[in-house]
Structure 1
Amino acid sequence: MIIEDFVFFNENGLYCKYGDFYLDPQQPVNNAVITHAHADHAKSGHKMVYATQATLEFMLLRYGKNMADSTMATGYHHPFNINGVQITFIPAGHIPGSAQVLMEYEGVRYLYTGDYKLQPDATCEPVEFVKADVLITESTFADPKVLHPDPEQEIKKLNDIKLNILLGAYALGKSQRLIRLINDFAPQKQILVHHRIMPIIAVYQKLGFNLGNHQIYSRKLMKTQQEFVYIVPPFTFDSYIRATGVKRLFASGWKNLQVNANDTLFISDHADWNDIIYTISKTQPKQIWTLHGNGAHLKEYFKDEIFVKLLN
């Protein structure tokens, strides 16, 4: 029987009282199961962190010794137990080491997706599907009006831009995906990378992900020709708002982060509406619980077919 309060939000985040652990907690806790290393999911200061090795590598880079008192690295498909709840990490396809969390308790399977995407991405492990009684899904883009375009076609837009390009992107995940995409589909471009992104790239290389050609930014280099793409984190991108002689683009699935209507680069690392519907078809849940977004459209879409509960 499905336990309706198996997980719920309290002041520290999403809590499973039956195993006494949190999923991506927002405050320091005793037991934290971390799905991936983005800062809105992976906080520091926990007593114990359970995560994949890649997630721990990125957290160590960001937080150092303040990451956690203790950690346990677990590979995909290797079950472990926290206070009677069996947990298995399943690839989420979001960034390296990103994991869905399959929780089994009293014969019921609860699957927490964390952030996930279905689009192909050579810079992380591909998403996998498992059946579950309850699908606890992110709903960042759970809107029928939101359909992500093909990233290959989006990146090919760069081929038509003859100016140097200042390309804003999140330092972990997006930047590395862009380097690989540009090498594959706009290979005449030379990629320059902001110095703060380079240590993250070093972790990718340690994990065995080949991003292709790139080099650290040099002011002299960018003055020599017009085929450079300079990838920078958001704070640097915002500080160059008055930059001249370059085309400014920000790579994101969010419409409000596009620089203008004529120069867009819609590349998202989340599931869109069709991806979420497909995931539900593969997971075959009896119930859907939504979080990290608005689940109202899913509730309306499934109506009496599948019970949909909005956790936040």
Structure 2
Amino acid sequence: MILNDFVVLTTTGLYCSYGKFYLDPKEMVRDAVISHAHGDHAVSGNQNVYCTKPTSLFMLHRYKKFAAGEFHLIDFNESFTLNDVKITFLSAGHMLGSAMVLMEYKGVSYLYTGDYKLQPDPTCEPIVFPMADVLITETTFADPEVLHPDPEQEIRKLSTTTGNIMLGAYALGKSQRLIRMINDFCPEKRILVHHNIIPFVRIYEQEGFSLGNYEVYDRKVMKNNQENLIYLVPPLVFRSYIRAVNVIRVFASGWKNLQRSNGMELLISDHVDWNDIIYTIDQIKPSEVWTIHGNGSQLQDYYVNNLIVKLLN
């Protein structure tokens, strides 16, 4: 029997009282099961952190000695138990080390997706679809009108200009994917990477993921070359150089509002869109879908006569 309170959303985060742990807590807790290393899912200071090795490396870089009291490193497809709840990590395809969390308790399985994507991405492990009784899915883009374009076609837009580009992207996950995509599909471009992004790039390479050619940003190089340079910067730097001259401003994101006032639109997302969520539900075949991290009301309407959809947020 599915337990309606198997996980509940609290101010601290998504809590499983049966296992006495939190999934991606927003505040420090005793036992935290972390799906991936983005800051809105992985805070510092938890006593026990259960995560993949890459997630721990990213957290250690960002938070240093405050990253966790103790890391418990879990491989994909490896199971462990917290207070009678069996937990297995499965690749989520969102970024390097990102995991979906399969929880089994009294014969019922609950799958928490964290953030996930279906698009091919050579800079992280591909998503794996298990079957589960309950799918607890992110709904960042759960809107029938949101359909992500083909990422290869999007990245090739950068080759439509020879002018230098200031490319804004999140420092972890998106930046590494972009470096590899530019090398694969825009090989004429020379990539200069902001120093705040470089440590994350090094961890990717340390973990065996080749990103291709890039250089650490050098102001002289940017000043003396007026063609085919891409300066990859994190969001804060991108916003601070709002009046940057002699560059085309581009920000890579699935959010259309972040494309305004830029010189080029680059809709590349690391989240599932509407069709991807529907496909995921078809693959996992849950009896119920619980939604989090976004608005699941349109999914609820879509499945009104066919599937129980419960909004946790």
TM-score where L is the length of structure 2: 0.99
State how far apart, in whole Å, the 1-side matches of 2:168 and 2:85 are.
41
1:261 shift after superposition? 7.4
Partner of residue 253, structure 1? 254
Query: 1:227 Cα shift?
Result: 0.6
**1:178 corresponding residue in structure 2:** 178
Which consecutive residues of structure 2, in runs of 5 or more, have no partner in the other structure?
none
Give 2:265's aligned residue.
Answer: 264
Residue 281 of structure 1 is matched in structure 2 by 282
The answer on whether the counterparts of 1:249 and 1:259 sit within 8 Å (CA) in structure 2 is: no
RMSD: 0.8
Residue 205 of structure 2 corresponds to 205
What secondary structure, in the 3-state scheme, does the structure 1 residue paired with 2:265 have?
Answer: coil
**CA drift at 1:55:** 0.5
Determine if the alignment matches structure 1 residue 161 to structure 2 residue 161. Answer: yes
Q: TM-score, normalised by structure 1?
A: 0.99
Aligned residue in 2 for 1:311: 312
In the TM superposition, 1:136-147 aligns within 5 A as 136-147=136-147
Deviation at 1:162, TM superposition (A): 1.6
Residue type of the alignment partner of 1:300: D
Q: Write the letter of the residue equivalent to 1:120.
A: P
Displacement of 1:223 after TM fit?
2.2
Aligned to 1:3: 3
2:28 and 2:43 in contact (8 A); partners too:
yes
- 215-224 or 268-277, larger mean C-alpha shift: 215-224
- Confirm or deny that 1:227 pairs with 2:232: no
Distance in 2 between residues matched to 1:311 and 1:304, nearest whole Å:
19
Matched to 1:264, the amino acid is: E
Corresponding position of 1:126: 126
* 1:35-50 → structure 2 map (5 Å cutoff): 35-50=35-50
| Structure 1 residue ranges without an equivalent (≥5) | none
Question: Is the contact made by 2:112 and 2:136 (CA closer than 8 Å) also made in structure 1?
Answer: yes
Q: CA deviation at 1:78?
A: 0.7
Q: How many equivalent pairs are there?
A: 312
Deviation readout 1:101-157 (Å, 9 max, x if unpaired)? 000000000000000000000100001100000000000000000000011000000
What secondary structure sits across from 2:294 in the alignment? coil
Larger CA deviation: 299-308 vs 222-231? 222-231
Q: Provide the rounded CA distance (Å) in 2 between the counterparts of 1:104 and 1:240.
A: 49
- Extract structure 1 runs of 4+ deviating beyond 6 A: none
Aligned partner letter, 1:307: I
Where does residue 245 of structure 2 map in the other structure?
Answer: 244
CA distance 1:192–1:261, shift in 2 (3 Å) = closer
Match of 1:214 in 2: 214
Deviation at 1:259, TM superposition (A): 3.5
Aligned to 1:64: 64
1:116 match: 116
State the identity as a percent.
60
Deviations 1:12-54 (A, max 9, x none): 1100000000000001101000000000000011110000011
Shift of 1:262: 6.3
Deviates more, 1:260-269 or 1:60-69: 260-269
The one-letter code sitting in structure 2 at the alignment partner of 1:131 is: M
SS of residue paired to 2:104:
strand
Superposition deviation, residue 304 in structure 1: 1.9
> C-alpha offsets along residues 272-312 of structure 1, whole Å, 9 cap, x if unaligned?
00000000000000000000000011000011200000000
